[in-house]
Structure 1
Amino acid sequence: MVSIIILSRGRCGLSRCITYYLLATAMTDFVVIIFAVIINRISGIYFRYSSLSTTPACRLIITIIFAVRDASVWLTVAFTIDRSMAICCQSLKISYCTEKTALLVIGIVCALCSLKNIPFYFYSQPLYVLDGVSWFCDIKSSYYTAPLWQVYDMLEQILTPFLPFFLILLLNAITIRHILASSRARKRLRGADTQGDQEMTNRRRSIFLLFAISLSFLLLWATYVGRFLYVRVSGAGYFSGLNFSDPQYILQEMAIMLTLFSSCNNVFIYALSQTTFREEIKKILMCPFASIIGHFKC
C-alpha cells in the first residue's frame, strides 16, 4: 500500500513511463497478497467453513490468484523490455518508451493473463458435498490424464515461469553488456580520472539492479520449477493438503510460498534502490508524528 501511494504521487523523480510500470506491478503484487495470502491461506486456515470455502468461491479465488501472479511476472518482463529499449536502442526509445505505450502494454498484459487462466476455474471439483453445498476444491483426476489438460499444463509452465525467466535473463545480459561497453568507452575518454563520475555511478547501480532482478526471480522460482519437473518425470500428483506432514506436500507448499515472495518483492527491488523513494517513505512514516507535534505546538 505504501508503494502504491508513493508511486501514484509521482514524486520519485522517475519518468511517467517507468512510474506506470512500477505502479501496475505494485497493484498486482498487492492483489496477490490479498487473494493468495490473506483470503486463500489465512482465511482457509482460520475460517475454514466460511462462504469463501465453497467450491464456486474457491474456483474463483484460484483463477484470480493465477491471473494476478502471471500479471505480476509478465509486468516485470514488460518493464525489463522497456528499460532494455531505453538503454540499448536509442532509436526506438522515443517511440516505445512512452506513457501511451506503457499503458497499452499494461492493459494487454493484464487482459491476456486473465484470459489465459480462465481454464483454472474448471480444473477442480468439490472435495465433498454436505447438505447440498459443495465445499473446497480438489483437482480432477482428468487433469493428469486428459491430453488437453496435459497440453494446457505444459503451456502454463512454459509461459510462467520458464519463458519470463529466459527473457529477463537474455534482456539483462544484453543490457549489462551494453552498459559495460559504454562504461569502458567512457573510461577511455575520461582517462584514469573516474572519481565523481555520476554517469558511471548510475550505470553501476543499473547493473546491480538488473542482477538483483534476475537472481531474485531465479532463486525464488527454482523450487517451483524443480517440483514441476519432478511431477512430470515421476508421474506424481499435486497434493491437496489432506496430509500436512507429507514431505511432498511440504515441498509443494514451500515452492508456492517462494513464488508468492517473488510476486511481492518486485517493487522493492525496483523502487527501493531509488533515493527519492526512500525519502518519500520517511515522509509518510513521519507524517503522523509531525501532525501530533504540530498539534501540541498550536
Structure 2
Amino acid sequence: MANDTALMSTASSVLEDVATYNETNTGDYVFDNMSAKLWRYGWPPLCMMGLVGNTLVLLVLRRDGLVRTSANVYLSALAVGDSLVLMAASLAMYPGRAWGWWFVRTSRLACHATLSVLFTLVNASTWFIVAFTVERCVVVRFPLLKLRLCTPRNAGLCCGSLLVLAFVKNIDLIFMRGLVIGTDPGDAICTVPLRYRDYVYNYRPMITFVTSCVIPTGVVLVCNWAIIRTLRRDLVQTTARDSIVRHTTVMCLAVSFVFIVCVAPAYVFYVTIPNWPMSLQDQYDVLQSLFILRYANHAVNFFLYSLTGAHFRCELVALFHRCIQRGLVTQGCVRRMTSRLTGSFHYRREVDQQMEMR
C-alpha cells in the first residue's frame, strides 16, 4: 500500500519541480526497481562526464578569450550553469532516487531552499540556450546589428537577468514547503502545506510547462529555421572570421536541437500521461528515465562542441598540447633537480669517505 501511494503521488506530478516527494515519506519503499538502478549506476558516470566536459569547455574558451565575443559569454555561462545543475542534482535528487536518503529532509533550510536552487539553475541553463540561439540568429540574419547588439557586455547583462528571472519564477518553492518532524528523528518529511496544494498541483505544472518547454522550444525552432535558411542561401566563400562565425552557429544548432530532444519528452509525457495505457510502476520508470535524459542535456555539450566546431577542436588540441609540453618541462625540471641532489649526495659521501681514510 505504501508503494502504491508513492507511485501514485509520483505519477500525478511528472515534473520534478512540482513533485511532493511523497515517495520519501514511505520508509518501506523498495529501491531495487529499474528506475532506482538507473539512478544508482547511470547518474555517477553521467555527472562526472558532464563536470569534466564543462570544465574543458571553460578552459578552451579561456584560451580563445573568455570575454572577447558574446558567443563565448553565453557558452561560458551555459557551462557554469550546467555544472551547477549536475552538482545540485547530485545532492538533491541522486541520494533519494538511488538510495532513499533525501537531503531535503535534513533541515528546514534544506527543505525550503534545495528545490528552489536546483530548478532556478535548470531554468537558467534552459534560457541560456535560448539566448545563445537568438544571438546566433541576429548574427546570421542581421550582420549590421550584431556589432551594436551582440556585445560581451550585453551578453553578460542578459545572462544575469535570466538568472534573476529564473529565481523569481521558482521563489514560491521557498515558502510553499515545510518540514514536518515526527516523533522519531528519521520521520521528518518535506511536504507542501495544505493551503498551497491547489496551486502546486493544478496551476504550477502549467506555468512550468509553458515557461520551460513551450516558449523555449518555440523560440529555438523559429531561430534555427531562420539560421538554416540563411546558411543555405549564403554559400559563397567566406573569410577566416566568417568561418569562425559559421562554426559557432553550427555548434549552436547542435546544442539547441539536442536540447529539444532531451527536454521535450519529459513535458510531453507529463501532458499525455493520462492517455498512456501503463501501470503506475511503468509510469514511474518512464518518468525517471526521462529525468535522466533531461539531465543528460547538461552533460553532453562538450561532445557537441567537439563534433561540430572545427575552431573549438583546434583550440582543444592546442590546450592538450600545451598541457603536455608543460608536463614534459616539469618532468625535465624534476629530473634535473633529482640528478643534482643525487650528485651532491654522492659527492658529499665521497668527501666524507676520503676524510675518514685520512
TM-score over 0.5 (shorter chain) = yes
| In structure 1, distance between residues paired with 2:106 and 2:322 | 37
Q: Contact 2:93/2:102 (CA < 8 Å) preserved in 1? A: no
| Pairing 1:291–2:348 present | no
| Pairing 1:164–2:216 present | yes
Aligned pairs, number? 277
1:248 to 272, 283, 290: 283
1:66: how far off? 0.5
Could you tell me which residue of structure 1 aligns to residue 161 of structure 2? 108
1:120 to 173, 185, 199: 173
Task: Give the direction of change, closer, same or farther, for the CA distance of 1:32–1:148 in structure 2 (3 Å limit).
Answer: closer
Q: Contact 1:55/1:134 (CA < 8 Å) preserved in 2? A: no
Q: How does 1:124-203 map to 2 (within 5 A)?
A: 124-126=177-179, 129-131=182-184, 135-138=188-191, 146=198, 150-183=202-235, 186=236
| Pairing 1:209–2:251 present | yes
| In structure 1, distance between residues paired with 2:243 and 2:155 | 27
| In structure 1, distance between residues paired with 2:212 and 2:305 | 21
Task: Give the direction of change, closer, same or farther, for the CA distance of 1:162–1:261 in structure 2 (3 Å limit).
Answer: same
1:80: how far off? 1.0
SS of equivalent residue, structure 2 residue 188: strand
Task: Give the direction of change, closer, same or farther, for the CA distance of 1:203–1:107 in structure 2 (3 Å limit).
Answer: closer
SS of equivalent residue, structure 1 residue 81: helix
SS of equivalent residue, structure 1 residue 108: helix
Task: Give the direction of change, closer, same or farther, for the CA distance of 1:10–1:253 in structure 2 (3 Å limit).
Answer: same
Could you tell me which residue of structure 2 aligns to residue 80 of structure 1? 133
Q: Contact 2:85/2:122 (CA < 8 Å) preserved in 1? A: yes
Report the residue type matching 2:334 in the other structure.
Answer: H
Report the residue type matching 1:59 in the other structure.
Answer: H
Q: Contact 1:127/1:137 (CA < 8 Å) preserved in 2? A: yes
Q: Contact 1:7/1:19 (CA < 8 Å) preserved in 2? A: no
For structure 2, the 5+ residue unaligned runs are 1-53, 338-358
Report the residue type matching 1:250 in the other structure.
Answer: D
Residues 198-227 of structure 1: per-residue CA shift (max 9 Å, x gap): 689768746743442233112212330222
Report the residue type matching 1:82 in the other structure.
Answer: E
TM-score (norm 1): 0.77
SS of equivalent residue, structure 1 residue 129: coil
1:143: how far off? 6.4
| In structure 2, distance between residues paired with 1:295 and 1:7 | 28
1:13: how far off? 9.0
SS of equivalent residue, structure 1 residue 264: coil
For structure 1, the 5+ residue unaligned runs are 187-193, 236-244
Task: Give the direction of change, closer, same or farther, for the CA distance of 1:289–1:147 in structure 2 (3 Å limit).
Answer: same
Q: How does 1:253-272 map to 2 (within 5 A)?
A: 253-270=288-305
Task: Give the direction of change, closer, same or farther, for the CA distance of 1:13–1:115 in structure 2 (3 Å limit).
Answer: closer
Residues 40-75 of structure 1: per-residue CA shift (max 9 Å, x gap): 234445692768633541331111110001111100
SS of equivalent residue, structure 2 residue 134: helix
1:132: how far off? 7.1
Could you tell me which residue of structure 2 aligns to residue 225 of structure 1? 267
Task: Give the direction of change, closer, same or farther, for the CA distance of 1:138–1:292 in structure 2 (3 Å limit).
Answer: farther
1:162: how far off? 2.0
TM-score (norm 2): 0.65
Report the residue type matching 2:148 in the other structure.
Answer: S
| In structure 2, distance between residues paired with 1:284 and 1:54 | 46
| Pairing 1:62–2:101 present | no
SS of equivalent residue, structure 1 residue 246: helix
Larger Rg: 2
| In structure 2, distance between residues paired with 1:247 and 1:199 | 51
**RMSD over aligned Cα atoms:** 3.6
Q: Contact 1:8/1:23 (CA < 8 Å) preserved in 2? A: yes
| In structure 2, distance between residues paired with 1:111 and 1:29 | 16
Report the residue type matching 2:317 in the other structure.
Answer: E
